[in-house]
Structure 1
Amino acid sequence: MLKSESILALDIGASGIKLAEFVALKSGGLELVNYAVGSLGMDPQSEGDRSTYLVTTIRELLQDSGIRPGTVLISVSGQSVFSRFVKLPPVDKDKVYQIILYEAQQNVPFPIDEVVWDYQLIGGAGGEVDVMLAAIKADIIEQLSDTVESAGMRPDLIDVAPMALYNAVRYNYTDLPACTLLIDIGARSTDLIFIEAGRVFSRSVPVAGNAITQQIMQEFNLSFADAEQMKMAHAFVAFGGAYEGPKSETVDKVSKSVRSVMTRLHAEINRSINFYRSQQSGQQPQLVLLTGGTSVIPYTDTFLKEKLKVDVDYMNPFLNVAVSERIPAEQIGRHAHTLGQVVGLALRRELSCPIEINLMPPKVVQQKAFRKKQPLFVASAVVLFLVLTIWCGYFLKMTSLAQARLDRVKVVAAALESVESQLRSTEQQRNEIDEKIRTTLHLVDRRSQWLKVLDEINQCLPDGMWLQTIRPTVSSGSDAPTGATPPQDPSGEAAAPQGIRFIELNGAGYIDKVSSEAISKFRDKLRTMSLFDDQTEIRWQPAPGPDDVILEFRIIGVLKKPLEV
């Protein structure tokens, strides 16, 4: 099957990172061609700077997997993002954004200018519209984006992990029951995602794999690293009731610690289900799908099935997503439960997904727009370089011709030393040529002055306004406009005319596009330019008549430095 360019997806969790490379198949759909999973090697509860760990881990994954760095789609954990579901009454489409902005200001617990936020309209009950708000502190997401760039990759989209999972489920499962509960048990938190036809609701609870590690640390008085290793080696959900425990005392204690945390998690799940049904008018879940690194602890599915009284299964994000034959089935089987987020991210590139949240920082969005314009800038630079090269070549050629002529004159002068009158004539010719060269160079320099002045006037001129005349005035005390200070010499007396210091700008604009305020803004913008003085002022602006279609004005532009006449 024919394939297109690579799609890179990066899921950044509390304790680990998943990096995957997909390609879009020409026949439709996606194929996973490469992936890598890595641990950050730090306590997920640590509040320290994770940048160094992230950069190191991403670089190691790129090197070990052979994935080439490039543009990447990113998902961040649900716990690091403030999400809120708000109900809106039926309103006109042109008022939806204003209402959502108001709701965001009321619900986001930070000043709205200090966060990066986005929203998604989703289905609601009873004619209402549900809105999902997602917000994250701007400094946090900017630091994360800078960290990914430091590792050699360019962020193109930043999604929220629960919504990436939701998109992956919707793509892979087409026959879900009326209500499905997706449980993503991670290291630091567990995301609960309620899925109904046309609706979604999610919340994050702070009970997950790290709670088990903390319990083992207390039970055995171990460090985090040792407790984590013990969990990986011996953890399973202990059987309750009269079941006989394991013969190993260590395994027995670990399994009971796991069951204790799972019992707390079950309580949180029950509270979330009750909240969803009572406050969100949702249905009772009829199917539970498990995903996340902690979900594979043995007997987790059995425990939840027993407690929740519903069918429990593990989410498979590759039901409708192909896996390359180069990836061994055993390998993908070990990690499939952790790759749902990267599948959801890859779908964002090729398909229209039900939830499309993007928390890209404005700074990164601007950089992305600039990179798109770079080819145009390069082409402009090349054209400018060619023009300058041609001009320099012409100038050097003329200089060479002038020098050759001068040399001939010198030869003739040396040969005709005996004829004094002819020598004087030849020397006079040479001096005239030199003077013409100097005059030409001086004129070129003065010509550029006016180009700069006209360029600054053009930059300030708004749409719908034009200039009818531009009249320069030689600076002197007598012709200075009212309020303008004529140039002074060191003694304090008005200096003699030194060049053009005032430029009279007569212009007009259509009344329906240009107002008095626009003319004032034109004047104010001129004042901020490098060549114009703060004394630039509007000298004449008649009130338009009832039948007039244009508004005329006159501005006296005062230059900071007079131009040579």
Structure 2
Amino acid sequence: MARSRNVWGIDIGKCGLKALRCSLSPQPGKLVAETFDYIEYPMLLTQPEADPTELIRDALEEFLRRNDVAGDTIAVSVPGQSGLSKFIKLPPVEASKIPDIVTYEARQQIPFPLEQVVWSWQRLEGGIEESGFVIDAEIALFAMKRDQVTKAIEPFKESDIEIDLLQLSPVSLANVVMFDQLPNASEIDPDAPPASIVLASMGVDTTDLVITNGLKIWQRTMPIGGNNFTRALVQGMRMTFAKAENLKRNAARADDPKKVFQTLRPVFNEFASELQRSLNYFTGQDRTAKIGQVLLVGNAAKLRGLSDFLAKQLQLEVHRLREFKSLEGDLVLKAPVFRENQLGFSTVYGLCLQGLGVSSIRTNLLPSDVTRDRLIQAKKPWAVAAMLGLLVAALINFFGIYIAWSSYSENLFADAFTQVDSVVGKSSQIQSSLEQVQAEQLEILDTQQRLARISDRRFQSLDLIRAIESMIPRDEPDKTDASLRDAIQAEKAEAAEEANGLPVIPVSINYDELHINSLDCQYFEDLSTWFEPLEEDWKRTVARDQFETNDAPEKTPATDTEGQSNAESEANTESESEADTELGEPSFEPEESEPEVPAGEGWVVQLVGHHFHNEDYHAPFEGRTYLRTTLIESVLGERG
């Protein structure tokens, strides 16, 4: 069953059972009281004729008849004298070694082997932690013997109430003071803490004393309680215990109230002396501590005149804790039974605080084996159901396989196998087609993306073509086809007349034209990678140009060797190959004309074409020289 967000705090006292059900309020720092219950025993558990086991069992059964606790968290308290509480100040130590020190301290402080006790600890607020070291740290150590724990939870186990939290009553009271009466521990200045509050919870036989300022806690159990007042009336007024108990509760309405208070005065003095002794011991241990006020809780605190008497004797502010500042829920708080017994609900209020996770001290004395056994017990039905389910599933699977095996015949499924093979073949074919289409799609997408990336450069390509077109040589406008034909006819006639004349140069060969066969361009992130394999060819080209220039200075016009080499490496022509054959390989000194290696990103444009200035009679502007003096000089901006 899923857990609800409600917590039941249950306190089995010696005069009655007190229970309070709370939940967190939407308002931060507040709790909502959902419901409560108060079941008073027919007699005190300490009376000789009382059967505590029977009385507690009857009270729990009555509680379950009145209330539904299914799904709620159950927190239970045990008397302070049933356990051990120690508040130990640690020396400066590494934070990681605190658990080891606590274990050592537990062996020293607990007067029983640790295997025989249930113990828990918590580091209190305060102290300074720097660079992994803790200074002025204080821990709270709580322990109970295992037989005492078993005795405390036995009535709940018999009533089928599963306990989630077991806590000492003084610890619950300390949580009430720190949550309801003091500022949040994170808001307290360790160097200037508030005045300590003393909470005295008066029980039947003992009084639990808790002193705290929100950072430090001191606790003691005083051996005096409500029964001391009752026994004083029994001895002083010669009456039965039951009548004395009734008279104590209604002392103000007695026939002779003055005599009643005179009879109780020795107990008043004894209680005040014991309380003063405890306070003196506390202030002696902590010289800087200041006592602010004393709060009285417990049904015995309702005794008329007790708070005024203690205030006079202790010279301190003494009040009954009649209001829980952080508890809401008028349905509970304004109920007559709750208002009459509110002083007895402090412990269960503290249990609810811890169960809801808003308390300062969060230790739990419920043995881990109890929690483990409960988890195992809760999972047993599910484990059995899972095993049965697996068994049924295995049987069904077995019979299914058996039936399928017994009814199988290969001939019955021959057609099905054939159809399956056919379908598999079609599926494979379709899959192959699909993969082919996907590959084509990816190729198209790649082309599309590539075209999209270069879409901005389409105008650059046009501009490049226009620029190249503007730089190639062109014939004069008057060299029309008609005029050329006439010139050719005239030349033929003249050649016929002069049989021994010189060879006539065809006029058509004198076309001042350069034909571009192809244009290609490529982008390089580093132009040196393009130039490196061409470097040797470049050197040979430069050497050949120098050779030609030195050999025929009168025939070849001066050119820019460096610009020429760069352009010639990009333009491949028919004349270039012919010139290489005729000139051979001249010697070249690299140190005289070392290339300027291009670097950085850029485009390489390659032009492939031809021209008709390749004969000797075209000298000095034939072959490579014609290309250099026309297109390349135009590219380099050297042509007028």
> TM-score, normalized by length of structure 2?
0.55
Q: Distance in 1 between matches of 2:13 and 2:121?
A: 22
1:298 Cα deviation after fit: 1.2
Which residue pairs with 1:106 in the alignment? 108
Q: Distance in 1 between matches of 2:361 and 2:288?
A: 19
Which residue pairs with 2:597 in the alignment? none
Is the partner of 1:359 in helix, strand or coil?
coil
Q: Distance in 1 between matches of 2:26 and 2:402?
A: 56
From 303, 317, 322, the counterpart of 2:309: 303
Q: Distance in 1 between matches of 2:402 and 2:244?
A: 78
- 1:405-435 CA-to-partner distances (Å, cap 9, x unmatched) read xxxxxxxxxxxxxxxxxxxxxxxxxxxxxxx
Which residue pairs with 2:226 in the alignment? 209
Q: Does structure 2 conserve the Cα–Cα contact (< 8 Å) formed by 1:6 and 1:23?
A: yes
1:35 Cα deviation after fit: 0.8
Which residue pairs with 1:6 in the alignment? 6
Which residue pairs with 1:118 in the alignment? 120
- 1:68-103 CA-to-partner distances (Å, cap 9, x unmatched) read 685411111212212222222111122212222222
Task: Note if 1:275 corresponds to 2:281.
Answer: yes
Is the partner of 2:341 in helix, strand or coil?
helix
Which residue pairs with 1:73 in the alignment? 75
| 289-298 vs 167-176, greater mean Cα deviation | 167-176
Q: Distance in 2 between matches of 1:53 and 1:153?
A: 17
Q: Distance in 2 between matches of 1:52 and 1:340?
A: 25
From 176, 190, 212, the counterpart of 1:195: 212
Is the partner of 1:298 in helix, strand or coil?
coil
One-letter amino acid of the counterpart of residue 138, structure 2: D
One-letter amino acid of the counterpart of residue 33, structure 2: L
Counterparts of 1:136-147 in structure 2, within 5 Å, are 136-147=144-155
One-letter amino acid of the counterpart of residue 102, structure 1: Y
Q: Distance in 2 between matches of 1:59 and 1:233?
A: 30
Q: Does structure 2 conserve the Cα–Cα contact (< 8 Å) formed by 1:185 and 1:291?
A: yes
**Distance verdict in 2 for CA 1:234–1:125, change over 3 Å:** same
- 1:125-166 CA-to-partner distances (Å, cap 9, x unmatched) read 894332222111101111221211212311001011111112
Q: Distance in 1 between matches of 2:359 and 2:247?
A: 40
**Distance verdict in 2 for CA 1:282–1:337, change over 3 Å:** farther
Q: Does structure 1 conserve the Cα–Cα contact (< 8 Å) formed by 2:321 and 2:343?
A: yes
Which residue pairs with 1:54 in the alignment? 56
Q: Distance in 2 between matches of 1:253 and 1:141?
A: 43
Q: Distance in 2 between matches of 1:268 and 1:172?
A: 26
One-letter amino acid of the counterpart of residue 156, structure 1: D
From 184, 199, 213, the counterpart of 1:182: 199
Q: Does structure 1 conserve the Cα–Cα contact (< 8 Å) formed by 2:166 and 2:365?
A: yes
Which residue pairs with 1:163 in the alignment? 171
Q: Does structure 2 conserve the Cα–Cα contact (< 8 Å) formed by 1:44 and 1:210?
A: no
**Distance verdict in 2 for CA 1:303–1:121, change over 3 Å:** same
Is the partner of 2:204 in helix, strand or coil?
coil
**Distance verdict in 2 for CA 1:316–1:380, change over 3 Å:** farther
Which residue pairs with 1:380 in the alignment? 386
Q: Does structure 2 conserve the Cα–Cα contact (< 8 Å) formed by 1:273 and 1:284?
A: no
Which residue pairs with 1:36 in the alignment? 37
| 174-183 vs 332-341, greater mean Cα deviation | 174-183
Q: Distance in 1 between matches of 2:200 and 2:341?
A: 16
Which residue pairs with 2:494 in the alignment? none
1:196 Cα deviation after fit: 1.1
Which residue pairs with 1:132 in the alignment? 140
Is the partner of 2:264 in helix, strand or coil?
helix
**Distance verdict in 2 for CA 1:224–1:389, change over 3 Å:** farther
Q: Does structure 2 conserve the Cα–Cα contact (< 8 Å) formed by 1:188 and 1:209?
A: yes
One-letter amino acid of the counterpart of residue 135, structure 1: A
Q: Distance in 1 between matches of 2:20 and 2:331?
A: 15
Bigger share in strand:
1
Q: Distance in 2 between matches of 1:327 and 1:317?
A: 9
**Distance verdict in 2 for CA 1:204–1:397, change over 3 Å:** same
1:232 Cα deviation after fit: 2.0
Which residue pairs with 2:472 in the alignment? none
- 1:103-139 CA-to-partner distances (Å, cap 9, x unmatched) read 2222222222111111222257894332222111101
| 356-365 vs 374-383, greater mean Cα deviation | 374-383
| 354-363 vs 167-176, greater mean Cα deviation | 167-176
Q: Distance in 2 between matches of 1:225 and 1:393?
A: 76
Q: Distance in 2 between matches of 1:327 and 1:283?
A: 34
- 1:45-84 CA-to-partner distances (Å, cap 9, x unmatched) read 4699733322211211232456668541111121221222
From 86, 91, 100, the counterpart of 1:84: 86
One-letter amino acid of the counterpart of residue 106, structure 1: Q
Q: Does structure 1 conserve the Cα–Cα contact (< 8 Å) formed by 2:311 and 2:317?
A: yes
Q: Does structure 2 conserve the Cα–Cα contact (< 8 Å) formed by 1:120 and 1:356?
A: yes
Is the partner of 1:202 in helix, strand or coil?
strand
> TM-score, normalized by length of structure 1?
0.62
CA-atom RMSD in angstroms: 3.2
Which residue pairs with 1:370 in the alignment? 376
| 168-177 vs 288-297, greater mean Cα deviation | 168-177
- 1:7-41 CA-to-partner distances (Å, cap 9, x unmatched) read 21111223322112223335553211211112344
One-letter amino acid of the counterpart of residue 377, structure 1: A
From 73, 77, 97, the counterpart of 1:95: 97
Which residue pairs with 1:461 in the alignment? none
**Distance verdict in 2 for CA 1:18–1:154, change over 3 Å:** same
One-letter amino acid of the counterpart of residue 151, structure 2: Q
Q: Distance in 2 between matches of 1:140 and 1:79?
A: 11
One-letter amino acid of the counterpart of residue 153, structure 1: I
Counterparts of 1:185-334 in structure 2, within 5 Å, are 185-234=202-251, 248-249=255-256, 251-281=257-287, 283-316=289-322, 318-325=324-331, 328-334=334-340
Q: Distance in 1 between matches of 2:41 and 2:104?
A: 39
Q: Does structure 2 conserve the Cα–Cα contact (< 8 Å) formed by 1:76 and 1:159?
A: yes
**Distance verdict in 2 for CA 1:187–1:162, change over 3 Å:** same
1:371 Cα deviation after fit: 5.0
Is the partner of 2:140 in helix, strand or coil?
strand
**Distance verdict in 2 for CA 1:123–1:330, change over 3 Å:** same
Q: Does structure 1 conserve the Cα–Cα contact (< 8 Å) formed by 2:248 and 2:303?
A: no
Counterparts of 1:388-537 in structure 2, within 5 Å, are 388-390=394-396
1:219 Cα deviation after fit: 2.7
Is the partner of 1:325 in helix, strand or coil?
helix
One-letter amino acid of the counterpart of residue 11, structure 1: D
Which residue pairs with 1:22 in the alignment? 22
One-letter amino acid of the counterpart of residue 118, structure 2: V
Q: Distance in 1 between matches of 2:73 and 2:310?
A: 39
One-letter amino acid of the counterpart of residue 266, structure 1: A
One-letter amino acid of the counterpart of residue 75, structure 1: S
Q: Distance in 2 between matches of 1:207 and 1:396?
A: 81
Q: Distance in 2 between matches of 1:197 and 1:69?
A: 33
Is the partner of 2:93 in helix, strand or coil?
coil
Question: Which stretches in structure 2 are left out of the alignment for 5+ residues?
Answer: 129-134, 184-192, 408-640
